[in-house]
Structure 1
Amino acid sequence: MIIYFNGRLISADEFVVSPLDHAFLYGHGLFETMRVYNGRVFRLKEHLDRLKDAADYLRWPTLPSHAELKAAIMSVLNENQLTDASVRLTVSRGSGTPRPDPASCGQPAIIMFALPLPAPLPPDGWSIATVTLQRNLSSPLVRIKSANYLDNILAKNEAKARGAQEALMLNTAGLVAEGSMSNLFFVTAGRLITPDENSGILPGITRNCIIELAQASGMPVEVRPVKPEELTEADEIFLTSSIMEVIPVKMLDDRLIGRQQIVPGCFTARLKELYRERTKKE
């Protein structure tokens, strides 16, 4: 596998992380995971805008331009002969002293690699489990795609131990937030509902696209705080992520969703179809 590292294309076997790299030492890094369709990165600008906004929030030095990052991504795809793939772009704050002092770091380090897409999801949907770990509404980490992913990993581990494929995380106010690696939507009486940005979520690129598509199709959309008990009354639930796209949910905490006998439900299936159509156009 050929990867990109600080302006060079090298074999993954040649890549060496400095023992003083602050992403390695402290999780002081950012990342974006993007999906490539027929050689095009879907909503690349939105991914890079989110990365830049997070870097600005952390008061990092200026990152390379969107054009430079796009050229690097395309070079990685070309070198690995991939046209349908996932791309991981990681930015570390860089190497510094062995103390948590960002001022000691130089320029951020940039690493990119591309991989073939994972196997298709099972057609009957996922099971999700409400976990004990909560999204901290006062933490800035809930709003940036941080390399410090321990909360997500612990939540995912708890869900898997209970036989589920994904975690459902509440926030410290007891309201619904998101999955450990996904955003959550549900359908009730023909209305599409998803937690708002003040609920402790990372506003996903796919999430934003689904909201746009639903509104354009005439479907009522509510972006607001969500109580956990609303999910038990939902007709349909689905998750979104850049790589997995739209993931139907068949069970929540060992309870079947709604009265549907077929998963995905009709609204989920329609939005998934609209999303796939959009990926062919952008």
Structure 2
Amino acid sequence: MYMFCNGAIVKESEARISPFDHGFLYGLGVFETFRLYDGHPFLLDDHLDRLNAALKELNISGNVDREEITGILDKLILANGYDNARIRLNVSAGNSPMGLQTSPFNNPNMLVFMSPISMEDILLEKKAVLLKTPRNTPETGVRLKSHHFLNNIAAKREISDQPGTEGIFLTENGFIAEGIISNIFWVSNGTIYTPDLSTGILNGITRQWIIEYAYHIGLRCEEGFFTPADLKRADELFYTNSIQEIVSVYSIDSGSRFQGKSGPVTRKLYEGYQRFKKQISSRNELHTYGEIL
């Protein structure tokens, strides 16, 4: 398998970065994961906008632009032979002496990983459990998609390796937050609900797409502070991320049951996702399809 490492396409076994990278020493790094569909990087512009905002927050110099990344992706597609793939774009602070640096990091390390993934247009159905591990609070004003993943790892250990199960974090105050690797949505009486960003959740790219697409097709979506009781009264429940797309949920805590993959709102959103995943680079492009949505 080939990857990109600081300007070169190399075999994964040959990639090298310094142990003095502050991404390794102090967790100063961020990443994005997204998918290629027949070579098209879905919502790439939205991912880069979030990445660049995070780099600014971490005082890491530079701006990752679309032309640079698409050029790297073209080379990786050629080297690996995959045009349906999972991509991880990782930028860390770069090399510096040990110690807590306050000045800008001017030479970040950039890595791009590629792995093959099948393109099955199937709405999956899984179950969910409420976690005992609480969601920690963000290190900065908003949650970054950063190297700080111990909270997620602790939650994953709590439910062990169950591919058909997603854990749902609660905040320390008992409000619904997000999944271990996902954002959470549910539907009650035709209205879509999802936790507000001020609960400390990641503003997922697929989350943003769902909210925008729902608006364009006339579905009401409310963000706020909700309890497990609100969640368990729902008709439909689903979670989202950029790799698994939209996944329906049929039960939570082996008790409350939902409509799962037969849920009409979940299915409508899923079908919209399938329609656009090979076409657009930003959720903002949806307005150009206004008359036919």
CA contact 2:187–2:236 (8 Å) conserved in 1:
yes
Helix, strand or coil: the match of 1:115?
strand
Q: 2:187·2:234 contact (CA, 8 Å) conserved in 1? A: yes
Asked whether 1:248 is paired with 2:244, we answer no
- Kindly provide the amino acid, as one letter, of the partner of residue 114 in structure 1: M
For each residue in 1:163-194, what CA deviation from the matched residue of structure 2 results, as whole angstroms up to 9, or x when unmatched?
96211011122211101110000000111111
In 2, Cα distance between equivalents of 1:123 and 1:50: 27
**Paired residue secondary structure (2:237):** strand
Looking at structure 1, the residues matched to 190 and 104 of structure 2 have their Cα atoms a distance apart, in angstroms, of 54
**Aligned pair count?**
280
Residues 40 and 278 in structure 2, CA contact (< 8 A), matched pair in contact too? no
2:11 aligned residue: 11
Alignment of 1:188 onto 2:188? yes
Secondary structure of 1:30's match? strand
1:5: how far off? 0.7
Residue type at the aligned position of 1:74:
D
Q: Higher relative CO (CA 8 A, sep ≥ 6), structure 1 or 2?
A: 2
Residue identity in the other structure for 1:95 = N
Pairwise CA RMSD: 2.3
> In 2 relative to 1, CA 163–38 (structure 1 residues): closer, same or farther, beyond 3 Å?
closer
Residue of structure 1 equivalent to 2:278: 280
Counterpart of 2:85 in structure 1 is 85
Change (3 A) 1:195 1:67: same
Alpha carbons of structure 1 residues 13 and 163: separation in structure 2 relative to 1, 3 Å? closer
- Kindly report which structure 2 residues correspond to 1:111-260, keeping only aligned pairs within 5 A, or say none: 111-117=111-117, 125-137=125-137, 139-140=139-140, 143-160=143-160, 165-258=165-258, 260=259
> Which shifted more, 130-139 or 50-59?
130-139
Instruction: Please give the TM-score of this superposition, normalised by the length of structure 2.
Output: 0.88
Q: CA 1:187–1:104 in 2, change beyond 3 Å: closer, same or farther? A: closer
Contact 1:124 1:250 in 2 (8 A): no
Determine if contact 2:128/2:251 at 8 Å carries over to the other structure.
Answer: yes
Over the matched positions of the two proteins, sequence identity in percent amounts to 35
8 Å Cα contact 1:135/1:142 also seen in 2: no
Change (3 A) 1:126 1:213: same
Distance 1:97 1:141, change over 3 A: farther
Q: Verify the 8 A CA contact 2:93 2:109 in the aligned structure 1.
A: yes
- Partners in 2 of 1:161 and 1:68 — Cα distance? 36
> How far does the alpha carbon of each residue in 1:227-255 deviate from its partner, in whole angstroms, 9 at most, with x for none?
22101101110000001000011121122
- Alpha-carbon spacing, 1:22–1:135, altered in 2? closer, same or farther (3 Å): same
SS at match of 2:54: helix
| TM, length-normalised to structure 1 | 0.91
Q: What are the ranges of 5 or more consecutive residues in structure 2 without an aligned counterpart?
A: 281-293
Aligned-partner Cα distance in 2 for 1:45–1:171: 30
1:27 aligns with 27
Letter in 1 for 2:94: G
Change (3 A) 1:101 1:188: same
Counterpart position of 1:101: 101
